């Protein structure tokens, strides 16, 4: 009876380094957000330290995994564990965004209507009789609020201004990138490496284009609309959802860029053996689906 080999890797400190880096990253991000509008820079230093530590850890960790794979040390069973690992990682990301979408749903469907006096939990008659419930929330029941309200919002501007609406172009670019990465996958499975490199390069270019367009959108929001992270609940939910998604786009784009470098300079990936690229493409499709939901619930509805 033949037994399938199973490679047991040596003890590694990478998980400890990754956990420590993630702790620094999360604490730094929270501190940076809480210190907005102040002169404190401590949170930014912690945030950048966490990012640098995480990037360094992942670089050497994945380098080790790739070397083990190229040496033929893994097996079908281990490859299956990689698939389940990536699936659980994407599921955790789904739950991450579900929390933010849940917060948006609660604010729009319950909190703001209650402040406007709707339902049995309505408070406006006791506290703010002149407040009217609407979304995006461009006013506040508390006239003494410590934050600046936006002058305009980034919702659907009407068909007459459709072609100058940046979220529409973001959507076109990102959905196009999902198509190009699929073409790249088909080319790789067909053994056409040159076509694979072409379509994957186009995908990376589209990812960079999306990030550039979102940066332009943020500049427009800050400079011309008065919409900031500190612009009440609308500003908070808008920038937390779109900002975290933008970070995931940069992460996914970086993953695809690494796959492109591996293919062009190291001739990695075979038609029947290319899980590294497959995992990155799964993540990219997930990022696209999240954006479609963002476009619908943040910008349209």
| Domains in the chain: boundaries | 13-70, 77-104+148-300
Question: Nearest 5°: phi and psi at 270?
Answer: -125, 160
Sorted by sequence, the CB contacts under 8 Å of residue 293 that are 6+ apart come out as: 97, 101
Handedness of CA 163, 167, 172, 177 (dihedral sign): positive
DSSP code for 270: B
Alpha-carbon gap, residue 269 to 69, rounded angstroms? 11
Looking at domain 77-104+148-300, does it have CATH number 1.20.120.80?
Answer: yes
Handedness of CA 80, 83, 88, 91 (dihedral sign): negative
* C-alpha dist (Å) from residue 46 to 20, 28, 31, 192, 262: 12, 5, 8, 44, 31
Low-confidence stretches of the chain (pLDDT < 50) are: none
Q: In the structure, how many helices (H) and strands (E) does the chain have?
A: 8, 0
Structure-derived torsion over alpha carbons of residues 59, 239, 177, 168, reported in degrees to the nearest 10: -170
Q: What is the DSSP string of 111-163?
A: IHHHHTT-STT--TTTS-TT----SS----S-TT-SSPPPSS--S---GGGGG
**What confidence score (pLDDT) does residue 3 get?**
66
pTM for the whole thing? 0.89
Residue corresponding to tokens 């695809």: 256
Nearest one of 282, 276, 199 to 248, comparing CA atoms = 282
Alpha-carbon gap, residue 65 to 12, rounded angstroms? 12
Alpha-carbon gap, residue 202 to 42, rounded angstroms? 39
Instruction: Output the six-digit token pair for 240.
Output: 């937390």
**What confidence score (pLDDT) does residue 244 get?**
92
Residue corresponding to tokens 């075979």: 270
- Residue 270's DSSP bridge partners are 273
Q: For residues 233-266, b (16+ Cβ closer than 10 Å) or e, as one string?
A: bbbbbbbebbebbbebbbebbebbbbbbebbeee
Mean pLDDT of the chain: 88
Question: Nearest 5°: phi and psi at 10?
Answer: -70, 165
**What confidence score (pLDDT) does residue 119 get?**
67
Alpha-carbon gap, residue 93 to 78, rounded angstroms? 23
């Amino acid at each position: 009876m033949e037994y399938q080999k199973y490679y047991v890797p040596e003890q590694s400190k990478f998980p400890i380094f990754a956990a420590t880096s993630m702790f620094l990253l999360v604490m730094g991000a929270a501190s940076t957000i809480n210190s907005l509008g102040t002169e404190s820079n401590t949170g930014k230093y912690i945030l950048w330290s966490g990012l640098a530590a995480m990037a360094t850890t992942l670089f050497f960790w994945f380098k080790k995994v790739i070397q083990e794979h190229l040496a033929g040390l893994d097996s079908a069973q281990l490859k299956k564990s990689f698939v389940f690992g990536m699936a659980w990682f994407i599921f955790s990301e789904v739950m991450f965004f579900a929390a933010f979408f849940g917060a948006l749903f609660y604010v729009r469907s319950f909190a703001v209507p209650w402040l406007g006096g709707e339902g049995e939990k309505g408070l406006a008659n006791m506290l703010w009789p002149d407040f009217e419930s609407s979304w995006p929330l461009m006013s506040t029941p508390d006239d003494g609020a410590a934050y600046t309200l936006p002058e305009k919002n980034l919702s659907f501007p009407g068909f007459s201004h459709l072609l100058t609406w940046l979220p529409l172009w973001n959507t076109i670019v990102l959905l196009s990138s999902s198509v190009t990465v699929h073409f790249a996958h088909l080319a790789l499975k067909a053994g056409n490496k040159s076509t694979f490199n072409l379509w994957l390069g186009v995908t990376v270019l589209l990812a960079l284009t999306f990030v550039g367009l979102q940066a332009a959108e943020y500049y427009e929001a800050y400079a011309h609309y008065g919409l900031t992270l500190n612009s009440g609940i609308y500003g908070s939910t808008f920038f937390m959802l779109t900002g975290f998604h933008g970070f995931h786009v940069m992460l996914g784009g970086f993953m695809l860029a690494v796959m492109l470098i591996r293919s062009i300079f190291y001739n990695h990936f075979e038609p029947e053996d290319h899980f590294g690229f497959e995992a990155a493409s799964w993540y990219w499709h997930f990022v696209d689906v999240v954006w479609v939901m963002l476009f619908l619930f943040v910008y349209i509805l």
